[in-house]
């Protein structure tokens, strides 16, 4: 009993030493969903997940702590595989998430929207697929969204343009399609602007700052076909009309000629 009360006092005195249950769950699930074939993640063990931070000191490779909570996760270029666990959203104090230059696949979890303090999201150079969740726009403090060199498809959510702090946005070299939202391609006011290099390398993406849509859905062949077809039709119609008209005028003329020939002398 004495020990427990001491522990309790200790917890009160050193609030930064309390392991956060959310962070633990976040890290546990993340380590399960990620694969680490080269064992690059040192001391990513169950015990460290229970107590990853001591105040501002981190016991976990790649993690930065702030007030006892995981503040940043930087696991760049570690040959990681697997997927991103949706439980990552339990690291609610996460300000920066950098998983770039790995071989992580699967979708970007919608649950990232619950990382309300997220300012930096760098998932570039992975094998991520699926759409960009439009719910990322809820992360109002996002400064950086770097998703280049993945296999993301679908449209670019226009809501991302509402992120006023967004200063880096790079979705180049994916499989995105459709128009670039004006809220991102042609930002108004003092918002930072993104040039074409942010959007390059997506086959079906179009609109400023990229060139406008080329074929507008219909292929050139189809348009030419429609044009020629209708042209031919109109040709036939107009020729028919002309023929009928000529026949009518000819009849008139013949009638006239009949009249004339009685008046005119034969030669």
Partner 1 sequence: MMDQWVLAILGSASVFLCLIGLLLVPVYGNTEGDALNALRTNLADPNNVLQSWDPTLVNPCTWFHVTCNSENSVTRVDLGNANLSGQLVPQLGQLQNLQYLELYSNNISGRIPYELGNLTNLVSLDLYLNKLTGPIPDTLGKLQRLRFLRLNNNSLSGGIPMSLTTVTSLQVLDLSNNHLTGPVPVNGSFSFFTPISFANNQLDVPPASPPPPISPTPPSPGVSNSATGAIAGGVAAGAALLFAVPAILLAWWRRRKPQDHFFDVPAEEDPEVHLGQLKRFSLRELQVATDNFSNKNILGRGGFGKVYKGRLADGSLVAVKRLKEERTQGGELQFQTEVEMISMAVHRNLLRLWGFCMTATERLLVYPYMANGSVASRLRERPESDEPLGWPIRKCIALGSARGLAYLHDHCDPKIIHRDVKAANILLDEEYEAVVGDFGLAKLMDYKDTHVTTAVRGTIGHIAPEYLSTGKSSEKTDVFGYGVMLLELITGQRAFDLARLANDDDVMLLDWVKGLLKDEKYETLVDADLQGNYNEEEVKQLIQVALLCTQSSPMERPKMSEVVRMLEGDGLAERWEEWQKEEMFRQDFTHAHHPHTDWIIADSTYNLRPDELSGPR
Contact set with partner 1 (CB under 8 A): 55-56, 64, 66-67, 71, 93, 95-96, 116-117, 119-120, 134-135, 137-138, 140-141, 143, 155, 158-159, 162-165, 167, 178-179, 181, 213, 216-218, 222-224, 226-235, 238-239, 241-242, 245-246, 249-250, 253, 257, 260-262, 264-267
Residue 265 CB, shortest distance to partner 1, in Å, is 5
Residue 54 CB, shortest distance to partner 1, in Å, is 11
The residue among 88, 126, 82 whose CA lies nearest residue 109 is: 88
Residue 169 is classified by DSSP as E
Residue 37 CB, shortest distance to partner 1, in Å, is 30
Residue 225 CB, shortest distance to partner 1, in Å, is 10
Alpha carbon distance 26, 89 (integer Å):
7
Under 8 Å between Cβ of 152 and 129: yes
Nearer to partner 1, 35 or 119 (CB): 119
In terms of Cβ atoms closer than 10 Å to its own Cβ (0-12, 13-18, 19+), residue 4 is: exposed
DSSP 3-state assignment of 92? coil
φ, ψ for residue 128, nearest 5 deg: -65, 145
Alpha carbon distance 157, 93 (integer Å):
25
The encoded tokens of residue 211 equal 């060139």
The encoded tokens of residue 30 equal 């993340």
The encoded tokens of residue 263 equal 């008046």
The residue among 154, 116, 149 whose CA lies nearest residue 135 is: 116
The encoded tokens of residue 179 equal 């128009």
Residue 77 CB, shortest distance to partner 1, in Å, is 19
Residue 127 CB, shortest distance to partner 1, in Å, is 26
């Amino acid at each position: 009993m004495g020990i427990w009360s001491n522990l309790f006092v200790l917890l009160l005195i050193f609030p930064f030493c309390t392991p956060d249950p959310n962070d633990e769950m976040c890290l546990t699930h993340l380590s399960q969903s990620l694969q680490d074939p080269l064992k690059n993640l040192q001391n990513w063990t169950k015990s460290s997940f229970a107590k990853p931070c001591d105040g501002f000191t981190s016991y976990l490779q790649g993690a930065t702590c702030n007030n006892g909570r995981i503040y940043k996760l930087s696991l760049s270029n570690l040959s990681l595989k697997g997927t991103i666990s949706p439980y990552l959203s339990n690291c609610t104090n996460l300000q920066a998430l950098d998983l770039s230059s790995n071989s992580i696949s699967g979708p970007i979890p919608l649950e990232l929207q619950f990382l309300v303090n997220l300012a930096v999201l760098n998932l570039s150079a992975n094998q991520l697929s699926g759409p960009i969740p439009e719910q990322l726009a809820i992360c109002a403090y996002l400064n950086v969204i770097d998703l280049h060199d993945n296999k993301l498809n679908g449209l670019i959510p226009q809501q991302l343009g509402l992120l006023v702090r967004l200063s880096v946005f790079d979705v180049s070299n994916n499989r995105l399609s459709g128009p670039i939202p004006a809220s991102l391609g042609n930002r108004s006011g003092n918002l930072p602007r993104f040039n074409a290099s942010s959007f390059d390398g997506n086959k079906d993406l179009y609109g400023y700052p990229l060139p406008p849509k080329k074929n507008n859905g219909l292929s050139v062949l189809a348009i030419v076909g429609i044009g020629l077809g209708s042209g031919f039709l109109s040709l036939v119609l107009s020729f028919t009309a002309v023929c009928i008209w000529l026949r009518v005028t000819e009849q008139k003329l013949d009638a006239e000629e009949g009249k004339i020939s009685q008046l005119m002398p034969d030669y």
